[in-house]
Structure 1
């Protein structure tokens, strides 16, 4: 009897141990298993539909602390994401929504054709996409974008991109135009301006070759420090750089004299992100100081996912190294950020540093809700392509 009880106890312990291991394995798999394409598409569609339902009028001004036209940079980033979604899920309603937005703004840039501000130019990326989607038959769609870039090329000024967000807003326009027109001048000007940001702004440039990460602008170049004594590297700012470099590599010919530098900067930045991913899959808003508003944040994480997944899909980075990181981050976004109705939680509001838009939460609505969705859709479009 005693022996039977002991054996039963041992058997029960074995079952409990096996069950516990099974649960742990399931939890691990949920973080590291590549999702089905249908699941990626469902998540992207759900988040996008929430936004389209809320903003049915594509020309409606955005009212907050002041009034902005709807072709400002935040909305432009959303449409970048929508075009990425359209590339894997070509629904007519996406095309119509982007066309309506572009036509409402007469295919012009925010603040006018001859603006030099990258934020004001960002909407041009979608105009260029729509121009190509329809077989390059409608030159009016890129007239203002091309005139704006040509006006910049016509001057010697190359210091416009004094904050790293600008790289994502404007670099892809130069490289898209270079590819579309076949004219080298767009690639050349793009590099000149990029190099000034990298090597000159803030004294010795906004790129730290030691850490292989970027300071957001000269305000954060040392001696500025985070509370823990580390340099301040803002997650979303570096996410913009990742996206800018991915798009630049997509359109820049490998024969271009600066292609290899872009590629090395891209690979170095991604490698610097590997050891600082959070256990839950996200990255902190302050990449080197998890104590400064540490917590989940979707936008920077989504941009890193986009850049890494793009690199895997195009053979630029090692699949074995980066796929688990991408999958872990994407699954964390799906689990913790994308709500059943499509609302996105854990989105940091507009700003330039970790403290902006804080504190974050799963149900807090940021001051602008569009660019966060753009980041998600960019990420989803590349995760969808993973095999």
Structure 2
């Protein structure tokens, strides 16, 4: 156990050394020939971040839940990532300048200046994108088994709100107002509602009680619920009148046709050791008419494997944040089959992966805008040609 902990710590410090070392080299050392005082002052800043970031992360995201520490650590992590990425890209600029005959220290100083300008601009814009009210994204989804009475049914998706250290109660209320303006048939929250317990994030989550829909409000857990109190969030959503799809389903009927709306726990639920939790699609669909189309809520896109096996028509997921800060989307793709958007899996199953409504950790979104998604379910042309939808 002790060896495993030391390995994890070693891995963290190696990653941090690379994350901070490349910007340090690019900005302060690689041929820039800055005055000694500048190099020393800059190095002190990088060392302070290297030492302080793990400590602040433990204080902020550990058992103590000190929000000021979490905010500081998250901002530093975001800044470090953007600095690292654009320092690497700065080396490519260096090659261009070298080919153009620009010598050091002018070349290295131009690179350092360009990197700093790019990073400051992207962080300012990225913070605005993270804190802004999400855009509405409209997507039509054609389902072969959809009955005529359900054609045009609209599903509004919230996911990854991540109410956390930064108080976003006003933002949360504005999101709910925007959702209510949509007058959707179904409103779904696909997990990662908050980072922390219900008691800790109650003020930010409170507006969700005012969400309106024509037929159903449904919720499933994400992986972050299992970092705090998943059952507490399930109980909270039940208390405010949402349908909690804890490995269960409901049936929505419109115009004489029916749609099974099912939900499963996040794929990390079983490993949490919480009694009665764990993704179980068989249980979720038990008793459902196999002839009806199925809309499944599952937090992680990789859960689509089970959806394909079960013959689910459409799975809705979040979790990826679209990468949140480019080019992290490339790393997300190593773990998940899809980063964002509509995709097809197998002969029947489609998957919509949302970029998320909020953000996690660093309060920045770079080339990965947040969204409130409206999926409009459409009946396929072949189904329409075959006659009126089945009445059940």
Higher helix proportion, which one?
Answer: 1
Answer yes or no: same fold by TM over 0.5. Answer: no
Scaled by the length of structure 2, the TM-score of the pair is: 0.30
> TM-score of the superposition, structure 1-length normalised?
0.30
